[in-house]
Amino acid sequence: MKVVFLGATQGMGRALARLMAERGDELFLLGRHLDTLQGQAADLRIRGASTEVGVAVCDLERPQGFGAALDAATANLGRFDAVVVTAGMYGTQEALEQDADLRRRVLTVDFTNTVEFCEQARLRLLERDGGVLCVFSSVAGDRARKPVILYGAAKAGLSYYLDGLDVKYRSRGLRTVLVKPGFVRTAMTEGLKEPPFAADPPAVAAATLRAIDAGRPAAYVPSIWRVVMLAVKCLPRWVRRRVDF
């Protein structure tokens, strides 16, 4: 595949980009920092990327640059078959409640601006009869819970949006893949209390790649989270008021 990748320089995104490079996919990387992108591109070339890996700056806090970044990807790849979005922001519930600027940034980046980037990617994919749009959301968006009210709200909106794209555009060739990770050991979660079923980025990346290849509309990674969140969804409100998880 020819893949445009936003968020390939760390954590789950880096692990997924490496798997794609190792099997010979052509990649074009988008991210905030040019030097970091160039370093990751060199790493992916060593790992087996079938061509030179192009890069362009694209910051989810600066939506005015989305179009130019996707145009750069098109110019480099000729066309692209898939867009993968793993980039995002995180804040604990306590931090988001106390810091209005952080709250604004997380809600804007994880919902509004990610949706805007996906909309611009969607239009380009549909111009060429479709392709894959794979976006990382979170199990935090499945049901309101005390520790992730604000972050979960942004991810719930993103999940709703991806589900809607699948309903409307699958018949036109757009295959959306909504990835819902549970707790993953990355720099973003460093220092947080680790819950059961925590995973490492390589395992999440492998499961995600299988979902992309199968064109599954939604994938919980690891898959145990599908069962966990089904149970959480069944909890009555009075239980959720009494527990902290």
DSSP 219-236: EEESTHHHHHHHHHHHS-
pLDDT at site 231: 93
**Least confident span in 43-52, 138-147, 174-183:** 43-52
**Domains of the chain by range and CATH?**
2-242 (3.40.50.720)
**Other beta carbons less than 10 A from residue 115's beta carbon:** 19
Task: Report whether the peptide linkage leading into residue 222 is cis, meaning its omega lies within 30 degrees of zero.
Answer: yes
User: For residue 183, what pLDDT is reported?
Assistant: 80
Q: What pTM, to 2 d.p., does this model score?
A: 0.94
Q: Specify the pLDDT at position 50.
A: 67
Q: Are 42 and 69 in contact (CB under 8 A)?
A: no
What's the confidence (pLDDT) of residue 113?
A: 98
Q: Does residue 194 surpass a pLDDT of 80?
A: no
Residue 34 has pLDDT above 90, yes or no: yes
